[in-house]
Amino acid sequence: MPKIDVTFDSAGVRLAAHLYVPAEADGPSPAVIVGHPGSGVKEQAAGLYAARLAERGFVTLAFDAAFQGESGGEPRGLEDPAQRVEDFKAAVSFLTTRSEVDAGRIGELGICASGGYVLSATGSDRRVRAVATVSGADIARQFRLGADGAQDPAVFEGMLDAAAHARNVAAAGEKPAPLTLFPETVEQARALGGEHGAEGFEYYRTARGHHPRSAEFFDWTSVDKFATFDAFAAVPLIGPRPLLMIVGTRAITAWMSVEAFQKATGPKELHHVEGASHVDLYDKERYVGPAVDKLAGFFTESL
């Protein structure tokens, strides 16, 4: 599958991306922008889905978020929800300039945290014709409430205290320590975050899915940005445009997709992949295959 290294501007930050073009494409084709999970990069789950959808005839674009991966921006490791939403809008703008793309048939797919960002981006960008999510999550809700929605509020309050301290350290001209995303062992990850934490560790920190540019930390200022962000606020603005949300039946984060789905007012479907956890849908073929089949059918019909 032809893959082209490209870059484009997002609010002054240069983003690095891979553009996948179907080998048999004959003229402008429908296109799908694919966003990566929080801490991920374009070479991981986003690239897998982009390549698989390109095999189905779609031009696809997988990009690294600003401040992460091969994209530009300082400080490194910043997870800024407003910038992440802008990145998707910038990706749409970029695709409208490509001769391979039918600018009137552009869709978006968000995986994990990008599943929240694409809902916000689509709600406020009328150029997007259809939107889908896989293991969709609002990273702000996950930090505030936990992956299962039952986190003690004191946990996030403590993180806000740490973020405030980090800002003071930076104001004094020193470099604050970053927010480390993963512990040293899978056992520690399981103790901190249960099986969901262990699965995240196994994907990002072992040969299964590790990539050297995948984020191992966030800048602490990400945390106070999460405090006021709501990825689902713009869902009603998606309006008559089709929405597909794919979740695993074992996903601890499924409640977030359900919450977003309930806010949607137009054509919508919540599709369950039997037996899959949140992270299973990143790369395990027995779950990815059915998800791609569903996505290909959805985008074929809606684009």
Alpha helices (H) along the chain: 45-54, 81-96, 114-123, 139-145, 153-171, 186-204, 221-226, 235-238, 254-263, 280-283, 285-302
Q: What's the rounded Cα separation, in Å, for the pair 42 and 24?
A: 23
Count helices and strands (H / E) in the chain. 11, 10
Are 244 and 298 spatial neighbours (Cβ–Cβ below 8 Å)?
A: yes
DSSP string for 156-212: HHHHHHHHHHHHHHHHTT--PPPEE-S-SSHHHHHHHHHHHHHHHHHHHSSTTT--T
Are 299 and 63 spatial neighbours (Cβ–Cβ below 8 Å)?
A: no
Q: Which residues pair with 9 in a beta bridge?
A: 14
Is the pTM higher than 0.95? The answer reads yes
What was the pLDDT predicted at 191? 86
Q: Which residues pair with 270 in a beta bridge?
A: 245
What was the pLDDT predicted at 26? 80
What was the pLDDT predicted at 25? 78
Query: What are φ and ψ of residue 132, in 5° steps?
Result: -140, 155
Are 49 and 34 spatial neighbours (Cβ–Cβ below 8 Å)?
A: yes
Q: Which residues pair with 109 in a beta bridge?
A: 34, 132
Element (H, E) at 244: strand 243-248
pLDDT tens, residue order, the chain (303 aa): 679 999 999 999 999 999 999 988 788 999 999 999 999 999 999 999 999 999 999 999 999 999 999 999 999 999 999 999 999 999 999 999 999 999 999 999 999 999 999 999 999 999 999 999 999 999 999 999 999 999 999 999 999 999 999 999 999 999 999 999 999 999 998 988 888 999 999 999 999 999 999 999 999 999 999 999 999 999 999 999 999 999 999 999 999 999 999 999 999 999 999 999 999 999 999 999 999 999 999 999 999
What was the pLDDT predicted at 43? 98
The structural domains of the chain, ordered by start, are 3-146+230-302 (3.40.50.1820)
HSE-up of residue 159 (Cα within 13 Å, Cβ side): 25
Are 282 and 209 spatial neighbours (Cβ–Cβ below 8 Å)?
A: yes
Nearest-Å Rg of the Cα atoms of the chain is 18
Q: What's the rounded Cα separation, in Å, for the pair 245 and 77?
A: 28
Q: What's the rounded Cα separation, in Å, for the pair 121 and 136?
A: 14
